[in-house]
Amino acid sequence: MENLNNIVNTGLRGVTVANTKISHVDSDAGKLIYRGYLITDLAEKTCFEEVVNLLLFEKLPNPEELRQLRTHLAAQRAIPKSLVASLKTCPADSLPMDILQAAIPLLANNDPGAAELTLEKSIDTAIRLIAEIPTIVCAWHRIRNGMDPVPPDPDLNHAANFLYMLTGEVPDEQTARFFDICLVLHAEHSFNASTFSARQVASTRAHMYAAISAAVGSLSGALHGGANTRVMRMLKEIDESGDMDEYISRVLNSGGKIMGLGHAVYKNGDPRAKILAPMSKALGQSIGETRWYDLSVLLEEKTKALFKAKKGLDIYPNVDFYSASVYYSMGIPMDLFTPVFAVSRIAGWAAHVMEEQFAGASDKPALYRPSSAYIGDYCGPAECPFVAMDNR
Ligand SMILES: CC(C)(COP(=O)(O)OP(=O)(O)OC[C@H]1O[C@@H](n2cnc3c(N)ncnc32)[C@H](O)[C@@H]1OP(=O)(O)O)[C@@H](O)C(=O)NCCC(=O)NCCS
């Protein structure tokens, strides 16, 4: 029997569970690489659709491939009428991530080939989901506010379409491009919690809709995708109280977390945060409200100093820290920040599901089935004598 005292709840940190060609997080160098390309290059020089092509087809597209992908996405963006009708029956205060998680299996019901486990069908499902998830998020937001969903516009790219379907207005060029960069930055991040959830479900040979629905549930958690909404709530709380020092000491002294700071993998800074910070500043300047950027910078500086003094450790912003003020400045409602994360991350999730199910024989991962240490101590070392119902 295993020595139970040796089992530590490390959340699988440091345990390598599969090979992947999709992305690499270089924690020491603070680099993120999608299929060989640095995130800094991709954010500056590509659009989300090019990154989708890179993640799904293992190459940056040429102009014709990009045109074809855009056509395919445009053809899939509208969601089934039956799904819109179902959304209309949901209570208006339903959490958007719950709605998204519930909607994905309903998309499977409208896809006659959903259960077909071939690479060709998985690519088709991936593109359907990448196209449909933004439409679901926007449709739900409008329905819960008593408005009709805005149909997608085939002339707009993926990023601009999202903002258009959300508000009914075509976004200005800077906002659309910044949102596009946000989608590029959030598209993939190796074996994070939600991606691992997707892969774990895919390893059972369940179909892609089942795997993606599980990933959405995982992303909804406060320590994962839910952090960006909490960052904005925190900034608002600090703004209202006007006492940032008190806020930081209260949270740190009570063992709480300053949202958007720290990372399970990057210990020397998250490269995505470095791209998002200037975007937050520029957006704030363009709307004439830099308060959220300014507060973020000050909070980062003060927490860093106190953290170093208390723990002797450096702490850096993660992707959620500045994306909160970026999304807020774009007018995206706070409770949609995490669904927006899913709008982008679906590209990475889908690539991982396909890798899990269709990698070459030598790389094909097995069904995930970890071990656990049983520490149930109900009747001492022996099994419990069974107690009949009348004697309980
Ligand atoms: C992401 C996160 C879970 C990583 O945690 P981790 O893997 O334990 O990170 P580390 O090992 O570097 O943490 C070292 C110490 O700093 C603490 N710490 C890390 N981030 C912190 C934060 N944002 N606020 C306060 N304390 C923090 C940890 O609790 C740990 O304390 P301990 O030594 O007393 O146990 C953590 O940083 C966090 O909860 N951040 C806030 C939530 C967030 O922004 N999530 C989005 C991630 S992309």
SS3 of 37, please? strand
**Nearest atom, ligand 1, residue 251 CA:** 25
Residues within a 6 A CB radius of ligand 1: 223, 227, 252, 257-264, 315, 318-320
The residue whose CA has the least distance to atom 5 of ligand 1 is 264
Is the model's pLDDT at 374 over the cut of 90? no
Q: Is 224 a catalytic residue?
A: yes
C-alpha 49 – ligand 1 centre gap (Å): 33
Q: Is 320 a catalytic residue?
A: yes
Is the model's pLDDT at 190 over the cut of 60? yes
Chain centroid to Cα 309, Å, comes to 32
Pocket of ligand 1, candidates 25, 257, 308: which has the most ligand atoms within 8 Å of its Cβ, to mutate? 257
* Mean pLDDT within 319-340: 96
Catalytic entry in 320, 352, 377, 390: 320
Whether 222 and 337 have beta carbons less than 8 Å apart is answered as: no
CATH of domain 23-226+333-358: 1.10.580.10
Is the model's pLDDT at 150 over the cut of 50? yes
pLDDT score of 7: 64
Residue 1 pLDDT level (bands cut at 50, 70, 90): very low
pLDDT score of 362: 65
CATH classification number, 229-329, choose in 3.30.70.520, 1.10.3080.10, 1.10.230.10, 3.90.226.10: 1.10.230.10
Is the model's pLDDT at 263 over the cut of 60? yes
Is the model's pLDDT at 5 over the cut of 60? no
From 87, 96, 77, select the one nearest 228 (Cα to Cα): 96
From 286, 265, 267, 282, select the one nearest 322 (Cα to Cα): 282
Domain limits, the chain: 23-226+333-358, 229-329
